Structure 1
Amino acid sequence: MRSRIVLAAADGLGNTAIADELGIAVSSARKWRSRFLAYRLDGLTDEPRPGRPRTVSDEQVEAVITATLETTPADATHWSTRSLAAQLGLSQSAVSRIWRAFGLQPHRQDAWKLSKDPLFIDKVRDVVGLYLDPPERAVVLCVDEKSQIQALDRTAPILPMMPGTPARATHDYKRAGTSSLYAALDLATGKVIGSLHARHRAIEFKKFLATIDRNVPADFDVHVVLDNASTHKTPAVKRWLAAHTRFHLHFTPTSASWLNLVERWFGELTTKKLQRGTHRSVRELNADIRAWINTWNDNPRPYIWTKTADQILDSIARYCTRINDSRH
Structure 2
Amino acid sequence: MPSPKLPPLVLSDEERETLLRWSRRPTTAQALALRSRIVLRCADGGSNSEVADEFGVKRHTVAKWRSRFVADGLEGLSDEPRAGAPRTVTDERVEAVIVKTLEQSPPDQDTHWSTRSMAAATGMSQSTVSRIWRAFGLKPHQVQTWKLSRDPQFVEKVRDVVGLYLAPPDNAIVLCVDEKSQMQAIDRTAPTLPIMPTTPARMTHDYVRHGTTSLFAALNLATGSVIAQHHRRHRHQEFLKFLKTIDAATPGDLELHLVCDNYATHKTPAIKNWLLQHPRFHVHFTPTSASWLNLVERWFAELTNRKLRRSAHRSVTELEADVEAWIGAWNDDPKPFVWTKTADQILDTLAAYCQRINDSGH
- TM-score bracket, shorter-length normalisation: 0.7 to 0.9
Give the superposition deviation at 1:57.
Answer: 2.6
Correspondence for 2:130 = 96
- Hey, what's the Cα distance between the residues in 2 that align with 1:312 and 1:47? 42
- Hey, what's the Cα distance between the residues in 1 that align with 2:338 and 2:171? 19
Give the superposition deviation at 1:73.
Answer: 2.5
Give the superposition deviation at 1:95.
Answer: 1.4
Task: Output aligned runs, 1:47-62, within 5 Å.
Answer: 48-62=81-95
Q: Deviations over 1:126-147 (max 9, x none)?
A: 0000000000000000000000
Task: Output aligned runs, 1:1-328, within 5 Å.
Answer: 7=4, 48-69=81-102, 70-74=104-108, 76-327=110-361
Task: Give the direction of change, closer, same or farther, for the CA distance of 1:59–1:286 in structure 2 (3 Å limit).
Answer: same
Give the superposition deviation at 1:59.
Answer: 2.8
Structure 2 letter corresponding to 1:164: T
TM-score, scaled relative to structure 2: 0.77
TM-score, scaled relative to structure 1: 0.85
- Hey, what's the Cα distance between the residues in 2 that align with 1:305 and 1:207? 29
Bigger RCO (CA 8 Å, 6+ sep): 1
Gaps (5+ residues) in structure 1? 9-38
Gaps (5+ residues) in structure 2? 6-67
- Hey, what's the Cα distance between the residues in 2 that align with 1:294 and 1:48? 60
- SS of the residue aligned with 1:160? coil
Give the superposition deviation at 1:60.
Answer: 1.8
- State whether residues 222 and 336 of structure 2, in contact with CA within 8 Å, keep that contact through their aligned partners in structure 1: yes
- State whether residues 106 and 117 of structure 2, in contact with CA within 8 Å, keep that contact through their aligned partners in structure 1: no
- Hey, what's the Cα distance between the residues in 1 that align with 2:335 and 2:213? 25
- State whether residues 258 and 282 of structure 2, in contact with CA within 8 Å, keep that contact through their aligned partners in structure 1: yes
Q: Deviations over 1:192-234 (max 9, x none)?
A: 0000000110000000000000011010000000000000000
Q: Deviations over 1:240-264 (max 9, x none)?
A: 0000000000000001010000000
- Hey, what's the Cα distance between the residues in 1 that align with 2:132 and 2:276? 62
Give the superposition deviation at 1:42.
Answer: 5.3
Deviates more, 1:238-247 or 1:318-327: 318-327
- Hey, what's the Cα distance between the residues in 1 that align with 2:82 and 2:121? 33
Structure 1 vs Structure 2 CA RMSD? 2.3
- SS of the residue aligned with 1:211? helix
Structure 2 letter corresponding to 1:54: R
- Hey, what's the Cα distance between the residues in 2 that align with 1:117 and 1:296? 34
Structure 2 letter corresponding to 1:166: P
Task: Give the direction of change, closer, same or farther, for the CA distance of 1:47–1:171 in structure 2 (3 Å limit).
Answer: closer
- Hey, what's the Cα distance between the residues in 2 that align with 1:266 and 1:59? 48
- SS of the residue aligned with 2:306? helix
- SS of the residue aligned with 1:148? strand
- Hey, what's the Cα distance between the residues in 2 that align with 1:51 and 1:159? 46
Give the superposition deviation at 1:55.
Answer: 2.4
Structure 2 letter corresponding to 1:64: V
Q: Deviations over 1:79-138 (max 9, x none)?
A: 111221111111222212221222210010111101011100000000000000000000
Give the superposition deviation at 1:48.
Answer: 4.6
Identity across aligned pairs (percent)? 67
